[in-house]
Chain A
Amino acid sequence: MTKGLITTTVGSFPKPPYLQQARNRFAAGKLPREELDELELQATREVIALQEEIGIDILVDGEMARGDMVVFFAEHLEGMEVGGLVRSYGNRYYHKPVVKGPVRWTEPMTVEMWKYAQSLTDKPVKGMLTGPYTMVEWSFLEGYDDFRTAVLEMARAVNYEALELNRAGATFIQIDEPALSTRMEDIELAIEAMAIATEGLTATTATHVCYGDFVSAYPRFFDMPVKQFDMEMANSSHELVDLLKTKGFPEDKEIAWGVVDVHSHKIESVDDVVAEIKRGLEVLPPERLYIDPDCGLKTRTWDESADKLRVIVRGVAQVKSELGIE
């Protein structure tokens, strides 16, 4: 029997309301660090239990200790600082990081939480990192004259963290580059940086890039030196799918096909998910086709996230039984 259609998620989960409140109180100086730590572990246990209960195959720790995906690392890396408030939309603001000087890795940032999450389950837990291009592109840049040099030095720092995860036993490491989606013209730099970031890893590597102009970057985009491309396909153009079907996709690589739209409150039907999985199967055999939501779940509520994952698992089960996939 053919194997395949492994389910996973992109990385982030929504923070339970008690954790969000605790983070606010901690930021206001009203909660000790140890108490926040304890609540982050509690939320991590809940995220793992939820994925187990729903039946996801490759789990994540849900990033309960991280606010923004760049700020978290900026708080730990030498040469980076957390800057002033900048608006992201509506009444939402964030402290945009600043690259102040030479970027250096000094200590593991994500390994303890990964180990904790992995200790709670027999299924593999992915190591999740923010990619070097995104780290620099989504920060202010003061300490380097040259964007490229900053990205390549950031890549070395990301590589140290990835190697620590690898050493700790992570068999799957995902290094996300969402900033690339609006800057496909920088694909060469992103490839060069990813080669540094993944150097020496024995784990399976993946990258997630939000929906972008993959058509114009085809086929060069798929030269990113990772095994798996985690892509927003739920809203993707027929043009991209046609291109993958007719012009192909590297035979040694995989796609994690994002089949539900995390930017919408609406829960897709099982039929929608089945149709999207079948679209994926027109491009790739099931062994190389992973199924997941199309982006991190952190903007959805806990219940919406659970519902979206349940519909994915049901859709996958239906396709598997229809096609005799194990």
Chain B
Amino acid sequence: MKATVVGSYPKIPNRPRPARLRNAISKLDRGEIAKAELAQVADEVTIEVLEEQAQAGLDLVTDGHIRWEDEQTYLARQLTGISINGLIRWFDTNMYFRQPVIEGDVTWQRPITVRDYAFAVEHSAKPVKPVLTGPYTLARLSIDNHYNNNEALALAFAEALNREAKALQEAGATLIQFNEPAILKQKDDIASFAKICERLVDGLTAETSLYLYFGDVEGIYAEIQQLPFDLIGLDLVMGAANAELLAGATFKKKLGLGIIDARNTRLETPDQIAKQIRRLSDGIDPDSVHVSPSAGLEFLPREVAQEKLRLLAEGVRKAEGVLV
């Protein structure tokens, strides 16, 4: 069993610890430092975040997306055919992203996250997984003035991300994760989504995972198990119905259990977590189970995020019988 995360991690700690990244970005905005200096701070904060995840007891970590301004634009800015528009709320969270506007053919030009991945691997005590926003979510949250067709746009994103995933694979990634919250808001699109996913993973030899959060998979439970990923991650907090679905029929793939609430500071206990893992993963090989928060952790203050991960790891060890 693996204790892991879904992607993002809070970028700055609370007082009295210094908000180094925030201060560096302010200084860059005021012209007091150069971009290289900000990049240096982002690297150092990434190392801190890797260490915090390892200290919490995770088995598989991410770089925390410390350099990502939001889940859409970090990727979109590097692709062709896209300009970046104003702020808009990200799903029903209280966090905003800048909306990409599609103005021409979307194509991959150069690696976007490979250097970040290699840097994280070099500085992490634990295995690292790269996490990318998936093509469907990138397409849905853009304004499309060019393709005028969501599937065509998503297929273009899928092609571009396929190139990115191959570059990550080349750099040594053995598990590549895609986050696709948007499909849970448009379940009618599942057939189109399957086609987009085929394009996304075409020719990849690394393992792949798909994380679906901010809702349940009721109505598409059979379909998601047919998708071309090795592991599917589900949200058991905002998708309470997922628990019943899992109880109803054994899951056919490796399973990601998002059971810690990534959007609330209320702390779960290791005993609750262990009990929930045992119930939800009944009949599944423990090696095939990844346990995580329900979504990325940027919705929480940094200290709460780390404490939640510590409790999560302890719960996983209890579920495995390593701890009692």
A residues near B (Cβ < 8 Å) are 83-91, 93, 96, 98, 138, 140-142, 182-183, 263-264
A83-B69 contact given A91-B25, A141-B264, CB 8 Å threshold:
no
Nearest CB in chain A to that of B14: its residue: A84
- 22 CB-based A-B contacts, threshold 8 Å: A84-B14, A84-B300, A85-B12, A85-B302, A86-B95, A87-B11, A87-B298, A88-B96, A89-B70, A89-B97, A91-B22, A91-B26, A93-B12, A141-B264, A141-B266, A142-B265, A142-B266, A182-B89, A182-B91, A183-B92, A263-B86, A263-B87
Partner of A89, one of B26, B29, B95: B95
Chain B residues, CB < 8 A from A93: 12, 19, 22
Cβ-closest chain B residue relative to A141: B264
Contact of B95 among A83, A88, A141, A264 (CB under 8 A): A88
Q: How far is the CA of A264 from the CA of B14 in the complex (A)?
A: 32
Q: Contact check: which of B70, B87, B92, B264 meets A140 at CB < 8 Å?
A: B264
Q: Which residues of the partner chain B approach A89 to less than 8 Å between Cβ atoms? A: 70, 87, 95-98
Given A87-B10, A91-B26, does the pair A142, B264 have CB atoms closer than 8 Å? yes
Given contacts A91-B29, A96-B301, whether A140 and B265 have CB atoms under 8 Å apart is yes
Least Cβ distance of A184 to chain B in Å?
10
Question: Which residues of chain B come closer than 8 Å to A85, judged between CB atoms?
Answer: 10, 12, 14, 19, 301-302
CB-defined contacts of B96 to chain A, threshold 8 Å: 88-89
Q: Taking the nearest CB of chain A, how far is it from the CB of B2, in angstroms? A: 27
Among A86, A183, A264, which residue has its beta carbon within 8 angstroms of that of B299? A86
Q: Which residue of B lies closest to A70 (CB)?
A: B94
Assembled-state Cα–Cα distance A89/B90 (Å):
10
Bound CA–CA A238/B178 (angstroms) = 36
Among residues of A, the one whose C-beta sits closest to the C-beta of B302 is A84
Chain B minimum-CB-distance residue to A98: B265
CA distance A83 to B263 in the complex (A): 13
In the complex, besides A83-B301, A93-B22, 18 extra interface pairs with C-beta distance below 8 angstroms are A84-B302, A84-B304, A85-B19, A86-B10, A86-B95, A86-B298, A86-B299, A87-B11, A87-B298, A93-B19, A138-B94, A140-B265, A142-B264, A142-B266, A182-B89, A183-B92, A263-B86, A264-B86
| Chain A residues near B89 (CB-CB < 8 A) | 182
Question: In the complex the two chains form, what is the Cα distance from A183 to B264 in whole Å?
Answer: 17
Contacts of B265 in A (CB 8 A): 83-84, 98, 140, 142
Interface size class for chain B? 20 to 34
Interface SS of chain A: strand
Instruction: Mark each residue of chain B from 65 to 105: 1 if its CB lies under 8 Å from any CB of chain A, else 0.
Output: 00001100000000000000011010110111110000000
Complex Cα–Cα for A141 and B299 (A): 13
Q: In the complex, which residue of chain A has the Cβ closest to the Cβ of B91? A: A182
A138→B86 CA distance, assembly (Å): 22
In the complex, what's the smallest C-beta–C-beta distance from A264 to chain B, in angstroms? 8
Question: What is the bound-complex CA distance between A91 and B20, given in angstroms?
Answer: 12
In Å, the complex CA distance between A182 and B10 comes to 23
Identify which of residues 36-64 in chain B touch chain A, using a CB-to-CB cut-off of 8 Å: none
* Chain B residue with Cβ nearest A140: B265
* Contact flags B11-27 to A (C-beta < 8 A → 1, else 0): 11010000100100110
Residues of B within 8 A of A90 (CB): 69
Q: State how many angstroms separate the Cβ of B20 from the closest Cβ of chain A.
A: 12
Which of chain A's residues have a CB closer than 8 A to the CB of B11?
87
What is the CB-to-nearest-CB distance from A133 to chain B, in angstroms, rounded to a whole number? Answer: 12
**5 residue pairs, one from A and one from B, having the closest CB atoms:** A84-B301, A89-B96, A182-B92, A140-B265, A142-B266
* A91 neighbours in B (Cβ, 8 Å): 22, 25-26, 29
Q: How far is the CA of A141 from the CA of B265 in the complex (A)?
A: 7
B29 contacts which chain A residues (CB < 8 A)? 91
Whole-angstrom distance from the CB of B31 to the nearest CB of chain A? 15
Whether, in the assembled complex, B170 has its beta carbon less than 8 Å from a beta carbon of chain A, the answer is no
Q: A residues within 8 A CB of B91? A: 182
Closest residue on chain B to residue A90 by CB atoms: B69
Query: Chain A residues with Cβ under 8 A from B10's Cβ?
Result: 85-87
Check if A86 sits within 8 Å of B86, measured CB to CB: no
Q: With A and B bound together, what is the CA distance between A83 and B70 in angstroms?
A: 22
**A264 contacts which chain B residues (CB < 8 A)?**
86
B188 at the interface (CB under 8 A from A): no
Nearest to B29 among chain A residues (CB) is A91
In the bound complex, how far is the Cα of B214 from the Cα of A183, in angstroms?
A: 12
What's the Cα separation between A60 and B265 when bound, in Å? 35
> Nearest B residue to A94 by beta-carbon distance?
B94
**Is residue B303 within 8 Å, beta carbon to beta carbon, of the partner chain?**
yes
Shortest C-beta distance, B259 to chain A (Å), equals 17
Note all chain A residues with C-beta closer than 8 A to B70.
89
Query: A319 to nearest B CB, angstroms?
Result: 29
B86 surroundings in chain A (CB, below 8 A):
263-264
With both chains docked as a complex, state the minimum distance between the C-beta of A102 and any C-beta of chain B, in angstroms.
15
Question: Nearest A residue to B303 by beta-carbon distance?
Answer: A84
Q: Which residues on the B side are within 8 Å of A87 (C-beta)? A: 10-12, 95, 298
Quote the shortest CB–CB distance from A211 to chain B (angstroms). Answer: 10
Q: Is the CB of B97 within 8 A of A86?
A: no
A140, A142, A183, A264: which has the most chain B beta carbons within 10 Å? A140
Return the chain A residue nearest B299 by Cβ: A86
CA distance A264 to B302 in the complex (A): 32
Shortest Cβ distance from B206 into chain A, in angstroms? 30
What's the nearest-Cβ distance from chain A to residue B311, in Å?
15
Pair B264/A88 contact, Cβ less than 8 Å: no
Q: In the bound complex, how far is the Cα of B12 from the Cα of A86, in angstroms?
A: 9
